[in-house]
Structure 1
Amino acid sequence: MYLKRLFLLFLSGFLFFSCEEYEDAIDPYSLGEWKTFTTRDGIGGNEIWTMLADSKGNIWIATLDNGVTRYDGNSWKTWNTSNGLIDNTVTAIEEDINGDMWFGTSSGFSILNASGFNNYTGIGGNIWQVRSLKQADNGSMWIGTWGNGFFEVKSSGIISYYNDTWEETNYVNCIDQDMQGNIWVGTNVGVYRVRPSNVDFFTVSDGLTTSTVKSLMADSWGHVWFGPDDQENITRYDGQKFSPISLYNGMPQNYVTSFLEDTQGNIWIGMISNGVIKYDGTIMRSYFNNDGLASNTITAIVQDTNGNIWFASYEDGITRYKPGFDD
């Protein structure tokens, strides 16, 4: 496999382990409070692709075809193509070091600052379908695309372009940065680890439960978690090796869409059709729509500055969970 890196300058700014116990029967009302929000409350659309909790306490909600909505705790505001957004299908959200908001879409990406929107489609005539955005500690913004590889946009305006001759690796699902500053990029055929000195590529032969990495998250302990699309197990990397962790939910096929490490150190795992699992390192608890979720198909999980956990669903809006005394 040959990974090429091109350096471009954009002159007018940015171009841009196993578990010991499993617990399923829960009384959610003794644990906390659940509330669902939909278009009736003010969200632009009920089909949610992803979410972000920003540094100011806002919740940003990316919809499938109705733009992006911001909830500040009191009111809702939606941006779409009618008021500056480049495309109504929003697939990624990130806040940069300046507090500006980046929105990945099917037609490129938009940056929203105090002056309004700046919109960018891609490089060399290619329209980027942006699937993931990650602000790195050094100020760079990493952009993952569907079919055009991934990019590092530095604050200087220099862009590092990672595009593989093996076309399948150019379809990026997710990006995160670990405690050592490494960038992890999940694709449908494996995962990249980008370090200053080199780029590694890992597959099932290296210990992943599957080469299709639909979601990943680096936690505060130095681990990296990887979500599959059809496995009973997820994978955790401890800095030395990849290890499978069973979800113990009785489901042979789990499509893991999202991870969250909350402020208590719990790992939340969102799935298609199988609800949410909370893992405290020993016990796994399942949550479903009859516990308070809007849907059993979860597309994103975030925690706000007040400690609330938010769950995005594919067709039924979002759910806010206020943890109770047992949490």
Structure 2
Amino acid sequence: MNKRINLIYLILILILNFSCVERKSTEKETYQSDLVATSKTDTLKFTSGIRAILQDSKGNYWFGSHNEGVSFYNGKSFKYFTTHEGLADNQIRSIQEDENGNIWFETAKGVSVYDKGKITNYPSKNNNPIFDWNETNGDLWFYASEEGGINRFDGMNMNYLIFPKPKNENPDNSYGVTDISKDKDGKIWIATYSALFNYDGKMTNVFDNKNLKLKDNEVLHIRSVLADSKGRIWIGNNGIGAILKKGDVITHFSKEQGKLIPMNEFEANTKSQQFAKNTGLQSVFAIEEDSEGNIWFGDRDSGAWKYDGKTLTNYKIDTKLNSQMIWSIYEDQNKNLLFGMAQGGVYKFNGKTFDKQF
């Protein structure tokens, strides 16, 4: 009888301990996920757009969608996970891998990290914003919010850093982060809608309309930035195309190449419900450098553009698509250049044309 009572008591203790562990896990926003909670298929099923691509150190591919979560491809099948499996949000804006092999997802509502079957979430902002960036460290940087800050993970904490915004700023300006690039010297270049920020480990510098030498009707609306292997900084705008910063020299690249439509026509297009497609390099949402040093631009309307240092060439990805808009460009470990489309699907450049890869 005593043995039976002891057994029942032991079972109750185990149940209580398990419940406490579960509660504690929830409070830390940590979720168990083995990437198989949703369906497996032999083709990528996303239709809302591919905003991020990563091939990890093990050769697996990760695809981040506009509003359908993440897909993982191991070379044989696709597996999916969303907020149901613990993601902070289903809109994925970037994907990174850290030195320990953990996969980080920048979402529209915070940062999620996948580590050995667990997903842990970090909010975009906290109650302790940091103005002196030098008080923090870490190589992982993330979009924070529309409030004018950026997240930096130091290995333990997600720090919320405040931008040194330009004086006399327009109250309508937004400093929400749209892209991040690291140059060959380790400096971080941070694109926001209204300005480009640069952090060199000691100081945070600001490049706005004035120091980018823009005219009054040339309004910054930055969507992408690339620090290339030659030390050049490429800035992609939605409206005034690509700007090139080479040292202290600023060049309005799209205008120099003759690839802009008149601003009044472009502004009319962006205010209409159905865009009248521009044919130039005007709405640059993605920039990438390939292994041969070519610079590639992804435009909202006109598809892909390749700059080899002398010639700028335009490509249509797939004429069967209703939209040629490119959300992301990525070169994988095999030097395949991949293009994530707004209509879903990933295309590979074969040297002349584009083949649907995923």
User: TM-score of the superposition, structure 1-length normalised?
Assistant: 0.75
> Residues 46 and 250 from structure 1, CA distance in 2 versus in 1: closer, same or farther, beyond 3 angstroms?
same
Per-residue CA deviation, residues 152-190 of structure 1 (Å, 9 max, x unaligned), is 222354736124566745311111111222111111211
> Residues 322 and 249 from structure 1, CA distance in 2 versus in 1: closer, same or farther, beyond 3 angstroms?
farther
CA distance in 2, matches of 1:217, 1:241: 16
Greater displacement, 304-313 / 139-148? 139-148
Which residue does 2:272 correspond to in 1? none
**Mapped contact 2:330–2:339 kept (Cα < 8 A):** yes
Post-superposition shift, 1:68? Answer: 0.6
CA distance in 2, matches of 1:146, 1:41: 35
> Residues 271 and 287 from structure 1, CA distance in 2 versus in 1: closer, same or farther, beyond 3 angstroms?
same
Matched, 1:181 2:186: yes
**Mapped contact 2:124–2:151 kept (Cα < 8 A):** no
- Which secondary structure does the structure 2 equivalent of 1:204 belong to? coil
CA distance in 1, matches of 2:62, 2:299: 20
> Residues 293 and 224 from structure 1, CA distance in 2 versus in 1: closer, same or farther, beyond 3 angstroms?
farther
CA distance in 1, matches of 2:339, 2:126: 37
**What is the 5 A alignment of 1:98-137?**
98-124=100-126
**What is the 5 A alignment of 1:143-162?**
143-148=142-147, 149-155=149-155, 157=157, 159=159, 161-162=161-162
Which residue does 1:279 correspond to in 2? 307
Post-superposition shift, 1:44? Answer: 4.2
Matched, 1:323 2:328: no
One-letter identity of the residue aligned with 1:176: S
**What is the 5 A alignment of 1:47-62?**
47-54=48-55, 55-62=57-64
Per-residue CA deviation, residues 222-262 of structure 1 (Å, 9 max, x unaligned), is 1111001112x411111222222137474425110001100
Which residue does 2:339 correspond to in 1? 311
Post-superposition shift, 1:195? Answer: 1.9
Which residue does 1:32 correspond to in 2? none
CA distance in 2, matches of 1:272, 1:68: 22
Q: Equivalent pairs: percent with the same residue?
A: 27
Q: Which of residues 74, 81, 84 is equivalent to 2:83?
A: 81
- Which secondary structure does the structure 1 equivalent of 2:67 belong to? coil
Which residue does 2:209 correspond to in 1? 204
CA distance in 1, matches of 2:59, 2:112: 21
> Residues 122 and 44 from structure 1, CA distance in 2 versus in 1: closer, same or farther, beyond 3 angstroms?
same
**Mapped contact 2:304–2:317 kept (Cα < 8 A):** no
Which residue does 2:277 correspond to in 1? none
More strand by share: 1
More helix by share: 2
Which residue does 1:6 correspond to in 2? none
Greater displacement, 286-295 / 166-175? 286-295
- Which secondary structure does the structure 2 equivalent of 1:257 belong to? strand
Matched, 1:195 2:200: yes
Which residue does 1:97 correspond to in 2? 99
Structure 2, gaps ≥5 residues long: 1-26, 31-39, 129-136, 267-281, 354-358
* Aligned-residue RMSD, C-alpha: 3.1
**Mapped contact 1:44–1:78 kept (Cα < 8 A):** no
CA distance in 2, matches of 1:89, 1:40: 21
One-letter identity of the residue aligned with 1:178: D
Which residue does 1:142 correspond to in 2? 141
**What is the 5 A alignment of 1:25-44?**
41-44=42-45
Structure 1, gaps ≥5 residues long: 1-11, 16-38, 127-137
CA distance in 1, matches of 2:350, 2:322: 14
**Mapped contact 1:207–1:241 kept (Cα < 8 A):** no
**Mapped contact 1:44–1:63 kept (Cα < 8 A):** no
Higher relative contact order, structure no. (Cα contacts within 8 Å, ≥ 6 residues apart)? 1
One-letter identity of the residue aligned with 1:204: N
CA distance in 1, matches of 2:99, 2:235: 26
Per-residue CA deviation, residues 55-80 of structure 1 (Å, 9 max, x unaligned), is 33333211122111122333211111
Alignment: residue pair count: 279
Greater displacement, 278-287 / 59-68? 59-68
CA distance in 2, matches of 1:280, 1:246: 15
**Mapped contact 1:50–1:300 kept (Cα < 8 A):** yes
**Mapped contact 1:145–1:170 kept (Cα < 8 A):** no
Matched, 1:171 2:171: no
Q: Looking at CA atoms only, which structure, 1 or 2, has the larger radius of gyration?
A: 2
